[in-house]
Amino acid sequence: MKKSHILAIGVIAVAIVIIISTAGDASTYVNFEQAYQLASTGSSTQVHVVGQLPKDGAGQVVGIEKSTDNLSFSFLLLDDNNKEQKVFYNEPMPPDFLRSEKVVVIGNYQNSQFIAKKILLKCPSKYQEQKLNAGV
Amino acid sequence: MHYLIGNLGHLLVITAFVTSLLSAFAYWKATTLKEIKEKNSWLTNARFAFVAHVLAIFGVVAALFTIIYKHYFEYHYAYAHSSLHLPGQYMLSCYWEGQEGSFLLWMFWHAIIGLILIKTQKSWEAPTMVVFTLVQAFLTSMILGVVIPGIDLKLGSSPFILLRDAMDDPIFKLQPDFIPKDGNGLNALLQNYWMVIHPPTLFLGYALTLPPFAFCIAGLWQKKYVEWVRPALPWSLLGGGILGLGILMGGYWAYETLNFGGYWNWDPVENAVYVPWLILIASIHTMITYKNSETALKSSIILVIAVFLLLLYATFLVRSGILGDASVHAFTDLGLSGQLLIYLLFFTLGAIVLAIIRWKEIPSSEKEVSTYSREFWIFLGATTLCLMGFQVLLPTSIPVYNKIIEMFGGASNLAPPANQIEFYSKFQLWFGVAVALISGTGQFFWWKKIDKEKLKQEMLTPLLITLLLFAFTIAIAKVYNPAYLILTLAGLYLIVSNFKVLFTLAKLNPKLSGGAVAHIGIGMMLIGVMFSAGYSKVVSLNNTGMLISKELPTEFNRDNLLLFINEPRPMAGYDIEYRGERLEPRRKSGYINKNDVELTLDPFKVVAIKDIVFQNKKLYSAKDTIEIFPENTFYEIELRRDGKVAASLFPRVQINPAMGGFIASPDIKRKFSRDLYTHVSLPMNREEEPEWGKLEEVKVKIGEEFFINSKYSTTLEEIRRVDEIEGVKLAAEDVAVQAMIKVQGEHEPYTVSPFFLIKDKSQVGRLPAEINDLGIKITLLNILPETNEFLLGINARQKDWVVIKALEKPLINVLWVGTFVLMIGFGMAMVRRFKE
């Protein structure tokens, strides 16, 4: 066998490993139900759940609990199936959290609680403002 | 309304578009025609058209700059990206905040490079410039802003669009000539010197990948399969250096400005330029092999084409809005995605079809390369770099797969890996090891003819030195993780073996040593990355045990620290203490204590209450008006060791509506061996009214000492009668007194003066005084003439606080120094190749 053939086989092998691992490590967008089922099978895979913060009649976000030292907080999140779930996050609450339209939590269930490792916020009008600002 | 400049700019954009097409056509003619005379006349036309194109581009740049610089807010670009208060040096950054400006920047570099090519490459001019001018035509079309009549198709997004056309605000119906007083301003995160130079550098890197691609296509087209490598190589080297520098500048900016705790986040936008850079480096290596030994021509062609196409793909990913859900900082869709896709597909199909047609004719060497040859090792290295790029490209494209599946009616819920950093690092680390071992070993084959015996001889000393250094490093740095051990070893091996080559070459021919220097830089970077990322550790661990819920698992520990003002806590071998909020003056360097100034109606100006001293230097005198940046607040954090101040850090919090409201930037204490990286993770909300505790009363005589909160020694120094309060004159029958009270705080005494007032002989008024740093409020409640005593009321509130996070980053400076060394290496190699 020529060296170039060995090299080619090596390259293909590595490429296959990369493809398989990408497919295996890619996370998924799921709802809380699916995330819970996944965790109850013993898997500790991290998933993405997209949801909204529940609001009361006056438009105030409900269900936020901060620790006394402000170092962590929990909140309620409504997923696309309208299932409400308490989510814990071990970082201080991002100041713009309450204004976000959509929240993506990345994490998993641990003992029937959803622990978020990361939170992505989708804030309204992040780039495009459609109203002129003050000083008009 | 300044219509002229915008119309002129728009006209110039159209001119640039038309001239680029004309020039492309003329160069095409000049390439394909056989007759010399005709050829030359088309060439003259083509050059004329290209020069006109370049002038038009310069004109567009100047027109847009005029609009920004003169604050013509009737234009959307000036309104959206600039403001009256924007410091002059950041006016340039307004360009690249918007997509149109960054396209313009890219075209600007192409224009300059095109002029250089015309001047220097006589025989290659016509065919390469066909490619060049076509690329320019596509780029210009992105900012064309022309609606094609009949089919109602909008081509490009013009930077010269008026605000009233861009925005649907009712005011324009009432008042079409309305001009806002001020602009929206440049995103304050971009008001940073790195953001002035990072985008031009990066886009110069982008632009520099075009000449090699153009030479390669011209070579295939004109059947000069071999000759194109020589003129292309120096451009690839320059591009590799500049693009690498541009990428790392972005990383350095992120390290200094953002708060994710690093310089590289494996965000799709970052990955999109990292992949072409890797392939560019691979292509440089195969081209060098080819120049020396006639092998690897085909792989050079594939790689050079791939670099350019990957950059177009990166442009598509970043600007089409497809990454919207996956990236934190991709551009939003400007409605250009279709145009971008056509741009990408045009060159992809064109290049691939051309390569396939010519494939059979490309000479290739059938000779089997020996394991002991330089070519074999370089080829192995290039292959590794390609796989390294492939591993990043595949997951980065996940949003693209989802889109494609959706296009065919399917549904895909694939998301990027949940922990991107861990996912990419676990592969890239081993690729890094492979690259280090291959390029370290490959260097021994510099002299081509070397056999097993000679190799052993050559390698012995470097190997011994490597092992010695390795033992020394791990003993000091206490590295135990097996993967990190191997990476350290490989990195050291790369450095040592290249030092050996460097010494040998220094004697023979120092001009050739660029490669060795560049590889030493890479070795240093690998080691710097490994330590700073692998051994980065959170030092601000919270150990108070106050959790939000008892049901939480025990690993739910927190990485942040709550600091109350002037109350030190131990952290990372220091006593760390929060000293209060600071402002930054616009015109002087230093920081101003917020308590020392008064706000004015203009948010950009404050007035000093007393002399402002920063680190024993007087910055301002009392009553001076000081210009400040109102969006930024700095939190002074003092680090002390053995009672001595080791550092004062000023992490920043920026109110930034464009980024969702709030951005914290770190401040970094740099030492050669490690950086201490600190940022605010939660500031106090100043808009909430503080909750005051219940009033405590004390009766004191003048000169009597008492304690507030049982820790602050306080003295009532003086009571004086006044006839005005805060500039308001009192009536003759009113009585007012002012108490001078001195409170000894943790660091300094505070003197406050509450007022007591009797108006119209019966009404009592009290004006309390607050000491912000101590969280107390003192009121002069009553005067008791019988006992010569005064009744003071004291309220306390929770003291000011801030929540911070601090990380330690060991050996990160090795990464920055390594980058610098790499750039020197690129520079040396390039100078040599350009001279050839």
**Is A1 inside a domain boundary?**
no
| Collapsed DSSP state (helix, strand, coil) of residue B574 | strand
- Name every chain A residue with its beta carbon within 8 A of the beta carbon of B548: 65-67, 72-74, 88
Q: Which two tokens stand for residue B86?
A: 């924007």
> In this complex, is the C-beta atom of B572 within 8 Å of any C-beta atom belonging to chain A?
no
**Is B733 inside a domain boundary?**
yes
**Given an 8 Å threshold on Cβ–Cβ distance, is B368 in contact with A4?**
yes
**Given an 8 Å threshold on Cβ–Cβ distance, is A99 in contact with B551?**
no
Lowest mean pLDDT among B110-119, B148-157, B419-428: B148-157
Q: Which two tokens stand for residue B140?
A: 């210009």
Count of domains observed in chain B: 3
Bridge-based pairing state of the strands B769-771 and B146-148:
unpaired
Query: Mutate which of B332, B380, B413 to test chain A, going by most A C-beta atoms within 10 A?
Result: B413
Domain hosting residue A108, numbered range = 28-122
Residues B658 and B784 in one domain: no
- Name every chain A residue with its beta carbon within 8 A of the beta carbon of B328: 120
Residues B30 and B102 in one domain: yes
- Name every chain B residue with its beta carbon within 8 A of the beta carbon of A104: 325
| pLDDT: which is higher, B660 or A103 | A103
Question: What pLDDT shows up at residue B451?
Answer: 74
**Given an 8 Å threshold on Cβ–Cβ distance, is B369 in contact with A45?**
no
CB B159 within 8 A of CB B101: yes
Mean pLDDT of B282-296: 84
**Res B493 pLDDT > 90:** yes
Considering only CB atoms, B413 lies closest to which of A28, A45, A123, namely A28
Nearest one of B581, B617, B619, B587 to B605, comparing CA atoms = B587
**Is B614 inside a domain boundary?**
yes
Residues B682 and B720 in one domain: no
CB B801 within 8 A of CB B563: yes
Residues B706 and B683 in one domain: no
- C-alpha B119/C-alpha B577 separation (Å) is 62
Q: Which two tokens stand for residue B27?
A: 């160069």
- Name every chain A residue with its beta carbon within 8 A of the beta carbon of B546: 67-69, 71
Question: What pLDDT shows up at residue A127?
Answer: 40
**Is B658 inside a domain boundary?**
yes
Helix B125-142 to helix B3-32 angle, to the nearest 10 degrees?
A: 150
Q: What is the pLDDT of residues A32-65, one digit of tens each?
A: 998 898 888 888 888 889 888 998 888 888 888 8
Residues B8 and B139 in one domain: yes
Domain hosting residue B141, numbered range = 1-186
CB A133 within 8 A of CB B184: yes
**Res B658 pLDDT > 70:** no
**Is B476 inside a domain boundary?**
no
pTM, 2 dp: 0.90
- Name every chain A residue with its beta carbon within 8 A of the beta carbon of B662: 94-96
pLDDT band for position B89 (cuts 50, 70, 90): confident
Q: Which two tokens stand for residue B625?
A: 């008006």
Residues B75 and B178 in one domain: yes
B764-791 in b/e form (b: 16+ CB < 10 A) is: eeeebbbbbbbbbbbbbbbeeeeeebbe
> In this complex, is the C-beta atom of B418 within 8 Å of any C-beta atom belonging to chain A?
yes
Strand (E) or helix (H) holding B736: strand B735-744
- Name every chain A residue with its beta carbon within 8 A of the beta carbon of B556: 72, 88, 90, 115
**Is A9 inside a domain boundary?**
no
**Is B18 inside a domain boundary?**
yes
- C-alpha B832/C-alpha B836 separation (Å) is 7
**Given an 8 Å threshold on Cβ–Cβ distance, is A92 in contact with B551?**
no
**Is B108 inside a domain boundary?**
yes
Q: Which of B:146-185 have CB within 8 Å of A?
A: 167-169, 171, 180-182, 184
| pLDDT: which is higher, B447 or B544 | B544
- Name every chain A residue with its beta carbon within 8 A of the beta carbon of B559: 90-91
**Given an 8 Å threshold on Cβ–Cβ distance, is B661 in contact with A136?**
no
**Given an 8 Å threshold on Cβ–Cβ distance, is B681 in contact with A100?**
no
Residues B643 and B769 in one domain: no
- Name every chain B residue with its beta carbon within 8 A of the beta carbon of A65: 548
Give me the percent of chain B exceeding a pLDDT of 90. Answer: 49
**Res B365 pLDDT > 80:** no
> In this complex, is the C-beta atom of B557 within 8 Å of any C-beta atom belonging to chain A?
yes
**Is A19 inside a domain boundary?**
no
Query: Mutate which of A3, A7, A9, A27 to test chain B, going by most B C-beta atoms within 10 A?
Result: A27
- Name every chain A residue with its beta carbon within 8 A of the beta carbon of B393: none
Q: What is the pLDDT of residues B184-199, one digit of tens each?
A: 888 777 888 888 999 9
Range among A94-108, B139-153, B162-176, B653-667 rated most confident: B139-153
**Given an 8 Å threshold on Cβ–Cβ distance, is B167 in contact with A45?**
no
pLDDT band for position B447 (cuts 50, 70, 90): low
**Is A12 inside a domain boundary?**
no
**Res A135 pLDDT > 50:** no
Residues B732 and B622 in one domain: no
Which chain B residue has the Cα nearest residue A122? B660
Measured in angstroms, the CA of A57 and the nearest CA of chain B are apart by 22
User: Using the 8-state DSSP alphabet, how is residue B263 labeled?
Assistant: S
pLDDT band for position B325 (cuts 50, 70, 90): low
- C-alpha B82/C-alpha B101 separation (Å) is 13
Query: Mutate which of A31, A72, A97 to test chain B, going by most B C-beta atoms within 10 A?
Result: A72
Count of domains observed in chain A: 1
> In this complex, is the C-beta atom of B559 within 8 Å of any C-beta atom belonging to chain A?
yes
Residues B167 and B137 in one domain: yes
pLDDT band for position B580 (cuts 50, 70, 90): very high
Residues B621 and B759 in one domain: no
Q: Could you tell me if residue B734 is left (phi over 0), alpha (psi between -120 and 50 degrees) or otherwise beta?
A: beta
Q: What is the pLDDT of residues B730-752, one digit of tens each?
A: 777 888 889 999 999 988 899 98
Residues B3 and B130 in one domain: yes
Per-chain mean pLDDT for chain B: 88
Q: What is the pLDDT of residues B450-474, one digit of tens each?
A: 677 777 888 888 899 999 999 998 8
pLDDT band for position A129 (cuts 50, 70, 90): very low
Cβ-Cβ contacts under 8 Å for A136 (sequence gap 6 or more): B171, B180, B181
Q: Which two tokens stand for residue B590?
A: 């230093």
pLDDT band for position B352 (cuts 50, 70, 90): very high
Q: What is the pLDDT of residues B402-421, one digit of tens each?
A: 889 888 888 888 888 888 88
Which chain B residue has the Cα nearest residue A119? B418
Question: What pLDDT shows up at residue B815?
Answer: 94
Query: Mutate which of A4, A64, A71, A112 to test chain B, going by most B C-beta atoms within 10 A?
Result: A71
- Name every chain A residue with its beta carbon within 8 A of the beta carbon of B169: 130-132
Considering only CB atoms, A121 lies closest to which of B414, B548, B660, namely B660
Polymer length in residues for chain B: 836
Q: Could you write out the DSSP letters of every residue in B138-174?
A: HHHHHT--EEETTTTEEES--TT-BHHHH---THHHH
- C-alpha B158/C-alpha B156 separation (Å) is 6
> In this complex, is the C-beta atom of B405 within 8 Å of any C-beta atom belonging to chain A?
no
Question: What pLDDT shows up at residue B729?
Answer: 77
Q: What is the 3-state secondary structure (H, E, C) of A46-87?
A: CEEEEEECCECCCCCECCCEECCCCCCEEEEEEECCCCEEEE
Q: Could you write out the DSSP letters of every residue in B686-718?
A: TTSPP-B---EEEEE-TT-EEEETTTEEEEEEE
Which chain A residue has the Cα nearest residue B164? A132
CB B677 within 8 A of CB B807: yes
Question: What pLDDT shows up at residue B13?
Answer: 96
B506-527 in b/e form (b: 16+ CB < 10 A) is: eeeeeeebbbbbbbbbbbbbbb
Q: What is the pLDDT of residues B517-565, one digit of tens each?
A: 999 999 999 999 999 988 888 888 876 666 666 666 656 667 888 899 9
pLDDT band for position A130 (cuts 50, 70, 90): very low
| pLDDT: which is higher, B445 or B316 | B316
User: Which amino acid appears at position B538 of this protein?
Assistant: V
Question: What CATH number corresponds to the domain at position A86?
Answer: 2.40.50.140
Cβ contacts from A onto B, under 8 A: 150
pLDDT band for position B22 (cuts 50, 70, 90): very high
Residues B643 and B745 in one domain: no
Measured in angstroms, the CA of B791 and the nearest CA of chain A are apart by 35
Considering only CB atoms, A111 lies closest to which of B380, B553, B661, namely B553
Mean pLDDT of B797-809: 91
**Is A90 inside a domain boundary?**
yes
- Name every chain B residue with its beta carbon within 8 A of the beta carbon of A45: 418
Question: What pLDDT shows up at residue B5?
Answer: 94
**Is B316 inside a domain boundary?**
no
- Name every chain B residue with its beta carbon within 8 A of the beta carbon of A110: 553
Considering only CB atoms, A132 lies closest to which of B167, B379, B553, namely B167
- Quick one: CA dihedral B554, B560, B565, B566, positive or negative? positive
Task: Residue B620: count other Cβ atoms within 10 Å of its Cβ.
Answer: 23
Measured in angstroms, the CA of B661 and the nearest CA of chain A are apart by 6
**Given an 8 Å threshold on Cβ–Cβ distance, is A91 in contact with B184?**
no
Bridge-based pairing state of the strands A73-79 and A102-110:
unpaired
Considering only CB atoms, B423 lies closest to which of A7, A25, A72, namely A25
**Given an 8 Å threshold on Cβ–Cβ distance, is A72 in contact with B547?**
yes
Considering only CB atoms, B394 lies closest to which of A22, A91, A120, namely A22
pLDDT band for position A133 (cuts 50, 70, 90): very low
Q: Which of B125, B152, B186 is the last residue of a domain?
A: B186
**Is B203 inside a domain boundary?**
no
Nearest one of B90, B68, B91 to B79, comparing CA atoms = B68
**Given an 8 Å threshold on Cβ–Cβ distance, is B662 in contact with A96?**
yes
Question: What pLDDT shows up at residue B216?
Answer: 96
| Collapsed DSSP state (helix, strand, coil) of residue A25 | helix
**Given an 8 Å threshold on Cβ–Cβ distance, is B660 in contact with A4?**
no
Q: Which two tokens stand for residue B204?
A: 């110069």
Cβ-Cβ contacts under 8 Å for B727 (sequence gap 6 or more): none
- From residue B449, alpha-carbon distances to A136, B224, B445, B506, B513 in Å are 76, 30, 7, 20, 19
Q: Which two tokens stand for residue B105?
A: 């920047």
**Res B702 pLDDT > 80:** yes
